[in-house]
Structure 1
Amino acid sequence: MDIIKTIKISVICIVLTFSFSFTAKANYTSEEFQQSFFEIGFKGIHEALDENNIHFKQDIALPVQLPPIAFTHGFGRFSNLDGESNDKLEIDYLNKDVPQNHYKIFVQPVKYRLVFKEDLIDQRLKTNDGTEALYSTKAVRGFNLLVFNKNEFQYILSVDKRISDKVTPELLVQIADSIPKS
């Protein structure tokens, strides 16, 4: 599969996943809310992380720091699609009663990273170790992204645009800096 097709498939998967977040109903019971995510392949974060680590034969380090907003649930999903180029770990933190409190982490090997067009990049930032991070408010409708490479993986940290006053680009860089070196 050529790289352009792979990137298009990855972007479509990300957009569909983000789109699902807008359909969540705030009047779900906690059990109904959880079940809706389990039905589409999510599970506990550590279980998904373990699947990913076994698949890639390398441990993925997740950020220690979270955005300073309230979450009621955390889910993980390891996507093992056709070939390694579309395989990725997805972590979602949500608040079932406050839909805009939504933070996501996507992790995939750097060799299969997504490349962003220049017109989608709002800012170029630096992490404490000097790694370049791209900040985009245009790449995915409804979400702001911080994209960077660390420990041989590409990380995409994303937050709902409606909380961008609480989760700024600088705060996302601090969260990126909280990922331990492997």
Structure 2
Amino acid sequence: MVIIKLLKVLVLCIVLTFFFSIGAKANYTSEQFQQSYFEIGYTGIHKALKESSKHFNRNIELPVQLPPIAFTHTFARGDNIEEKPNTKLEIEYINKDMPQNHYMIFVQPTNFGLKIKENFIDQRIKENDGVKAIYSTKIVRGFNLFVFEKNGFQYVLSVDKRISNKVTPEVLLEIAHSIPE
């Protein structure tokens, strides 16, 4: 059920990416681009992070490092924070003029995290510092996922497949390591 919910969110993001790539070619302004995200519940990262931390009754630490690609906008939202205990924080980095530059972070308590079937796992990564991660190119069409747990949360780093040569599993692991303890 959680996987289906995440897949729905990721499919929505993919649809939005393609929609905005068409809009960007039609002189879609930054203001129009931003407004379209605000209309579907996104806000700034700091506000969503504060609301989600309050909801989970503990601080959520975000990666300090970003992928080595250009972004023009960042958006975030807490998914149904008032209604359900198993909500998540969604953060989206996107370039309105280069829709392939699309990176997302999903954060939720580990007890509500994704359970990934073995046949969807491309690579398992285990680091000396205790980081255990799963890399998958098969769960969501068009996106690669890097899934790991830290500080009592499950983090899902999602990157558009079209930039997988720049944002490799090694880069995603560096990003995971940049989350403060």
TM-score (norm 2): 0.92
Corresponding residue number in structure 2 for 1:19: 15
> How far did 1:139 drift?
0.5
Tell me if 1:174 matches 2:174.
Answer: yes
Corresponding residue number in structure 1 for 2:39: 39
| 1:8 equivalent among 4, 7, 10 | 4
Alpha-carbon RMSD across the aligned residues, in angstroms, is: 1.4
Corresponding residue number in structure 1 for 2:74: 74
Tell me if 1:59 matches 2:59.
Answer: yes
TM-score (norm 1): 0.91
Tell me if 1:138 matches 2:166.
Answer: no
Distance 2:59 2:128 in 1: 22
How many corresponding residue pairs?
Answer: 176
> How far did 1:28 drift?
1.3
Distance 2:102 2:6 in 1: 20
- What letter is aligned with 2:66? L
Deviation sequence 1:129-163 (CA, Å, 0-9, x none): 22210000010110011000000000000110000
CA contact (8 A) 1:127 1:173 kept: no
Gaps of 5+ in 1: none
CA contact (8 A) 2:90 2:106 kept: yes
Distance 2:90 2:128 in 1: 24
Distance 1:120 1:9 in 2: 17
> How far did 1:21 drift?
2.2
Where 1:97 maps in the other structure, the secondary structure is: coil
Where 2:19 maps in the other structure, the secondary structure is: coil
CA contact (8 A) 2:48 2:76 kept: yes
- What letter is aligned with 1:132? K
Distance 2:131 2:2 in 1: 25
Distance 1:148 1:102 in 2: 20
CA contact (8 A) 2:102 2:159 kept: yes
More displaced stretch, 161-170 vs 125-134: 125-134
Deviation sequence 1:31-80 (CA, Å, 0-9, x none): 01101100100000001000101111101000000001000011111112
> How far did 1:127 drift?
4.2
CA contact (8 A) 1:126 1:173 kept: no
Residues 7, 42 of structure 1: CA spacing in aligned structure 2 closer, same or farther, 3 A cutoff?
A: same
Corresponding residue number in structure 2 for 1:90: 90
CA contact (8 A) 1:127 1:177 kept: no
Where 1:80 maps in the other structure, the secondary structure is: coil
> How far did 1:83 drift?
2.1
Gaps of 5+ in 2: none
Identity of matched residues, % = 61
